[in-house]
Amino acid sequence: MDWFLITSSIIKIIGVVFLMILPLVAYSVYAERRVSAAIQDRVGPNRVGIPLTLLGGKKDIPFAGLLQPLADGLKFLLKEDYTPAHVNKFYFWLAPALTMVPALLTCAVLPFGSELDLSFLGIDKPIPLVIADLNVGPLFIFAIASLSVYGIVLAGWSSNSKYPFFGGVRSSSQMISYEIALGLSVIPLIMIYGELNLTKIVTFQDQHGWLLLPLWGEGLSLERWLLLIPACISFIIFTTSIFAETNRLPFDLPECETELVAGYHTEYSSMKFALFFLGEYAAMIVGSGLIVTLFFGGWSIPFGLGSGLEAKPLWLGLLHMLAFFLKIVVFIIFFIFVRWTIPRFRYDQLMRLGWVFFFEIALANIFLAAGILMFTK
Amino acid sequence: MLENYVPVLIHLLIACGFAGATLLLSVLLGKSGARNPVKDSAYECGMLPVGESQPRFSVKFYLVAMLFVIFDIEVVFLYPWAVVFRDFINDGAHIIFWSMLSFVGILFIAYIYVLRKGALDWKN
């Protein structure tokens, strides 16, 4: 057994899951509430800070409500964990875990940085900043992410109640419908990269220009500029399908409050409800991570800065991590703005968009990209 | 090769452990209240539940699931093709383009049939 591999991957997993994804989830919920409040001309959560009055002080420090996620988490833990009598208990308990585990697992193949040179700690090999460097990157993500459909279907079915049941059925058919568009829209990118390994895809973009910003390296060729057309089409289809896969607002029919109370998690309370919430936001974060990795160069810094260096010093590794983090944050803010701007689709419109428009455009897009590659070779 | 999947396994264990631990913690720390018939009834906005708990739903959902299997397998076939596409084109083997076009074309005929049959029309 390679103990170095095991130890380093445990540290990386704990770092990514507990220091990156979970805080990002907590603060994107906070950001969502603050942004929605700003858009709707309200105040939003601005009180929860350091409770000095509990310790005998005169006034609390409000701190712009930045400790709200912590208070929410605590509340989820302390609320009554109620399992109604009419549910199917085993699946009722299984479903929240089954939604959250795939969402956390998908981040395993996302390269969140180039490599970290830890020679000052006596480790001579630089540590690659990806949990599992698989050569089936996007396929792994799609395979694992589609497992979360089971969690939602089971939640809806085992609740044994009308609205969760409808929510579960709607959600499953929506998620599988957009999975086709998602899968098809990635194919032109794979043709351009000729590669399924996400680390190599990012390294390529680091040296030869991001897919949607080919301004340096080989990116300045006519071929790459022509390929911008299929890449942009793919980007639009891919991003929209990520919205649909994560059940976020233009596509939040599985849990639309006006028709279905709260959809598949109506009967859930306390931590079980929180796990659904967590899974949804974690899926959104990994989705933005995938968009960034495929279209915007992952961890790389614009204009190929630092890509010429043979050995990456420690500061460059840290800078790459920061770049990846910032790009994800930009996309999360984009997701939040879209949610509070665009109204919900009707169900027939949603199905039509996925099966008719996106399917046909994505299919044509593949052959457009293939044609360009043949023409410019 | 398989060594690459060891971190995935560890990740799976950690994710499952986290889910299990949070569920257990909320059972241990959560307030325990009394059961009563109102709390045990299905929640429908505070009204008494009406009708069956698992009502009939449109057969279209089954249809979507079946169509998904067909077209998702088509997508799976496209992946290996896409990975090697550039190498073949650089070798001047344009057959790779036309062969995939014919494969997708056949499935596209099936897709047109599905569309004409109204299987994807959710309006009525």
- Is A326 within the bounds of a domain? yes
Per-residue model confidence (pLDDT) at position A238: 93
In the stretch 122-141 of chain A, residues with CB closer than 8 A to chain B read 131-135, 139-140
Torsion of CA A326, A328, A333, A335, to 10 degrees: 170
For residues A215 and A209, the answer to whether their CB atoms sit within 8 Å is yes
Query: How many angstroms separate the CA atoms of A14 and A20, rounded?
Result: 9
Per-residue model confidence (pLDDT) at position B96: 84
pLDDT at B4 over 70: yes
Q: Which residues of A230-241 are buried (b: 16+ CB within 10 A; e: fewer)?
A: bbebbbebbbbb
Note the helical H segments in B30-94.
Answer: 37-40, 60-90
- Is A62 within the bounds of a domain? no
- Is A246 within the bounds of a domain? yes
- Is A266 within the bounds of a domain? yes
The sign of the dihedral angle between the CA atoms of A280, A281, A285, A286 is negative
Residue of A nearest to B54 (CA): A162
Question: How many angstroms from the chain centroid is the CA of residue B96?
Answer: 30
Query: How many angstroms separate the CA atoms of B95 and B118, rounded?
Result: 35
Per-residue model confidence (pLDDT) at position A308: 67
Structure tokens at B100: 């995939």
pLDDT at B124 over 90: no
DSSP-derived letter for residue A87 is S
CB contact under 8 A, B15 and A100: yes
DSSP-derived letter for residue A20 is I
Which of the residues in chain A have pLDDT under 70?
Answer: 1, 219, 253-261, 304, 307-311
Note the helical H segments in A40-161.
Answer: 68-78, 89-105, 137-145, 148-158
Per-residue model confidence (pLDDT) at position A291: 92
Select the more confidently predicted residue: B41 or A230: A230
In chain A, what are the helix, strand and coil shares in percent, each to the nearest 5? 70, 0, 25
- Is A319 within the bounds of a domain? yes
Between the two ends of chain A, the Cα-to-Cα distance in Å is 46
With contacts defined as CB-CB under 8 Å, which chain A residues touch B49?
A: 161-162
Query: How many angstroms separate the CA atoms of A219 and A31, rounded?
Result: 35
Q: From start to end of chain A, where are the E strands?
A: 115-116, 127-128
- Is A48 within the bounds of a domain? no
Q: Which domain holds residue A129?
A: 82-376
Report the alpha-carbon angle B107-A194-A189, nearest 5: 65
Query: How many angstroms separate the CA atoms of A89 and A56, rounded?
Result: 45
Domain residue limits, chain B: 59-117
With contacts defined as CB-CB under 8 Å, which chain A residues touch B68?
A: 176-177, 179-180
Per-residue model confidence (pLDDT) at position A328: 92
For residues A111 and B65, the answer to whether their CB atoms sit within 8 Å is no
Place of tokens 């609390």: A60
- Is A306 within the bounds of a domain? yes
CB contact under 8 A, B5 and A134: yes
Between the two ends of chain B, the Cα-to-Cα distance in Å is 51
Per-residue model confidence (pLDDT) at position A340: 85
DSSP-derived letter for residue B4 is G
Select the more confidently predicted residue: B76 or B50: B76
The sign of the dihedral angle between the CA atoms of A342, A347, A348, A354 is positive
Please count the residues of chain B.
124
Q: How many angstroms away from the CA of A58 is the closest CA of chain B?
A: 30
Q: Please give the tally of structural domains in chain A.
A: 1
Kindly list the distances between the CA atom of residue B58 and the CA atoms of A372, B50, B61, B124, in Å, as whole numbers in the listed order. Answer: 43, 19, 6, 10
In the stretch 8-27 of chain B, residues with CB closer than 8 A to chain A read 8, 10-12, 14-16, 18-20, 22-23, 25-27
Structure tokens at A69: 């996620």
pLDDT digits (tens, 9 = 90+) for B7-39: 888 889 999 999 899 888 888 887 777 778 777
Q: How many angstroms away from the CA of B122 is the closest CA of chain A?
A: 5
Per-residue model confidence (pLDDT) at position A258: 65
A41 φ/ψ sector (left φ>0, alpha ψ -120 to 50, else beta): left
Q: How many angstroms away from the CA of A339 is the closest CA of chain B?
A: 24
Kindly list the distances between the CA atom of residue A356 and the CA atoms of A180, A231, A253, A333, B114, in Å, as whole numbers in the listed order. Answer: 11, 20, 19, 29, 11
Does the pTM exceed 0.95? no
Q: Does A19 lie at the interface with B, CB-CB under 8 angstroms?
A: no
Helices and strands of chain B, counted as H and E runs: 4, 0
